[in-house]
Amino acid sequence: MTYYNKIVQTEISEPVNVTIPASNTDSLVVAYDYGVFNGYVLEGTSRGSVWGVVGATFVVKKIEDDELADEMQESSDSESEIEPSVYERRRELNAWRTVLAEKLFIEARRKLYTEKLNQLEKRQAEVLSQEAADFIKKKEEILKAYHDRLQYIEVIRALRTESLKRRTIGQLECAQQNLNNNKRMAYEKVENDIWTKIQKLDDDMKRCTREYVNFCREFERSKERERRKRKRYPVANVIERLLGDAVSSLIDPYDENVDEDLYVCEQALKAVNGREN
């Protein structure tokens, strides 16, 4: 439904014929405020419920201020004094006022939507072209934060690199010190083992020397005893050389009546020695 809030465009003093413009979708029109448009009223219709077919012709005449005031005064009577027809007209008028308010609200909302859309398009164009003030400010803040972050990262990287370098140098020095200590401990251990073995060998050598000296002394004593025995008991010595200890031990070394046997033994020894030569 379309509402035409200004049928008469110019002031007139006499009644004229007015044709209500046609709409694309509407078939009826309604007059506002008891059929009054800017001080003009549609004649030939009842006030408050002015209906007409789109394209129809109505007569419009000027309403005097006093007459309009009287009409408004009559409309302000109490409900008890209002006639049913007047009440019905008021109800219809209020209904059409509600419809009009909704229509105006829809139009205002459409205009608001259009304005918002235009603002968004303008905002989009400013953002895309990077010309918006808040965008430029936000961009500067982001760039500043980005550069601050880069500086922070660079400082952290330098500190971590220095820390890693110092830690690596410390670990190398510690490893070198441990290696030197291990070498020294190994050298000391080997040296102690060598000295222990040398001491043991020295003790063994001294023991062997003592045993060898004792053996040599015992051997010399034995030779001396043999020599003395030969000088003292020559017959027994010859018999021992010829027959062995087992036989010589059976002969009495103090028996001097064995001259013949001694002679025979000496001859046998000479024969044996000459054959060997």
| 18 — pLDDT class (breaks 50, 70, 90) | very low
Q: What is the mean pLDDT of the chain?
A: 70
Smallest CA-to-CA distance from 43 within 22, 15, 19, 8 is with 15
Residue 61 near residue 40, CB atoms below 8 Å: yes
Instruction: Return the pLDDT at 259.
Output: 57
Q: What is the spatial distance between Cα 82 and Cα 265, in angstroms, rounded to a whole number?
A: 195
Torsion of CA 25, 31, 33, 37, to 10 degrees: 110
| 178 — pLDDT class (breaks 50, 70, 90) | very high
Which whole number is the average pLDDT over 119-134?
A: 83
Smallest CA-to-CA distance from 33 within 78, 94, 111 is with 94
The string of pLDDT tens digits covering residues 46-58 is 333 333 333 334 4
**DSSP string covering 30-67:** E-STTTEETTEEEETS-TT--EEETT-EEEEEEPPHHH
| 159 — pLDDT class (breaks 50, 70, 90) | very high
Q: Give the pair of three-digit tokens for residue 233.
A: 């008991």
Q: Which of 85-89, 141-145, 178-182, 268-272 has the lowest mean pLDDT?
A: 268-272
More confident: 201 or 236? 201
| 198 — pLDDT class (breaks 50, 70, 90) | very high
CB hemisphere CA count around 171 (13 angstroms): 6
Instruction: Return the pLDDT at 242.
Output: 59
Q: What is the spatial distance between Cα 205 and Cα 207, in angstroms, rounded to a whole number?
A: 5
| 272 — pLDDT class (breaks 50, 70, 90) | low
Q: Give the pair of three-digit tokens for residue 54.
A: 């789109």
Which whole number is the average pLDDT over 103-107?
A: 94
Q: Kind and range of the H or E element at 41?
A: strand 40-43
| 34 — pLDDT class (breaks 50, 70, 90) | very low
Which whole number is the average pLDDT over 187-195?
A: 93
The string of pLDDT tens digits covering residues 235-264 is 556 666 655 544 444 455 545 545 556 666
Q: Give the pair of three-digit tokens for residue 212.
A: 């060898």
Question: What residues does each domain of the chain span?
Answer: 16-128, 233-276
